[in-house]
Chains A and B, each alone.
Chain A
């Protein structure tokens, strides 16, 4: 390559790590906020500590794991229907 391509900030893996740590920090702050204010809720379980946080986390992990299992049943090769 005769003209070296511009290097982007994200190309450095260290910077990606920084982003991830930032996310961890943000998550920690958010969950700790639950101590500091009074929730206005519709359901009693919403008041459990960090309900939305762990619900979101577990929901997504479960979603991905289930979807991976589903792939075993529904996945076919691209020519399956014969018109690609």
Chain B
């Protein structure tokens, strides 16, 4: 049985009243939800909040899942939307509270990332990603970390493949420039 079929069966079981099936689905996807949110938001608490929000939405809205696409695509759409909404909210909060982008960032990685050696590199990459405009950041993360094709990203975000490719090109170029600058 492949993952897709297994997901569908778990969804059906949950919709019939089996909460354990939902827990299995949550455990299966929680880490991927966390990492996408973490890379988009560059903050542990925000990423954690997104995970909780997405699980709550899944729990209340799984009855609307149409089984036309993979479950992960459906979950991903919710995650991507919630991340963008939170970014907009934080931007407005910064405007109204006159705070800067340099406010204390909560990387919070000390206890949650197993590989200690990678922590420094991860923190650096997180800063680079945060420097990218949101649309570029999103497509760069979805291509490189989530390994979606342009077609899948287009389906999730609603953007044209041409626009996505352009954003990806600019993001890749900017990341290269940021790494060069850091070396200097």
Chains A and B are bound partners: no
